[in-house]
Amino acid sequence: MDETVLAEVRRVMAPEVDTTVTARQRAASVAPPPPEIGALLRWAARTIQAHAVVEVGSAGGVSGAWLLPELPPRGVLTSIEPDTHAHGLATDAYEAIGAGSRVRTILGDPVTVLDRLSDHAYDLVLLQSRPAVTWELLDHARRLLHPGGLLLIRGALRGGEDADALATALQILAEDEAFTATILPVDGGLVLATRLADPSTDTDDAVGG
């Protein structure tokens, strides 16, 4: 897209407040989402009226800065970051925006941390670590999301040393009956997937009725 057009799109559709601009500038080294992707995250959270959100990879707090305004007063963002530097950036960003107890920032291995989170308790899961998605993370996303919840994956089409792992994980997702998914050729490949009800649940409901 022409840079002039892109700048106008961002001005009109994805304006950022000063604290988000500052967070983005400080987080340049950890691949924060561009403003238009931030606006998409905002749209997703608002559309499903998200209360509980998990992000794997903090993007220096930029993604959370877009998500938090759409959560209700008791809504919580759980931000899991394996990298010490990125975790510090995110912590500073959340302090600057006054997030308080609405954000849980956790420094640690994502698979280990996700294993401690409750089943079917989350409305939205955002994966943006490196690699962006693995089969272990998909297993946890399936478990954490309730039916109707959203899974978003940034950077799913990036090449390099993670290309094979990403391709395998995307194949698994495409064949997973727990999700209906698509991928957009933006932001290095952006996956949008909806968590479906488990077939066993549908069967049980039908029998019970």
DSSP 126-147: EE-SSSS--HHHHHHHHHHEEE
Cα–Cα distance measured from residue 90 to residue 99, given in angstroms and rounded to the nearest whole number? 11
pLDDT given at position 161: 85
Tens of pLDDT, residues 56-74: 999 999 999 999 999 999 9
Q: What pLDDT does 209 receive?
A: 47
Which amino acid would we find at residue 184?
L
pLDDT in tens, 173-183: 999 999 999 99
Intervals of the chain under pLDDT 50: 203, 206-207, 209
Domain segments of the chain: what residues?
A: 3-208
pLDDT in the model for residue 153: 96
pLDDT at 201: 54
Say which amino acid occupies 25. Q
Q: Which CATH code fits 3-208?
A: 3.40.50.150
Q: Return the pLDDT at 176.
A: 96
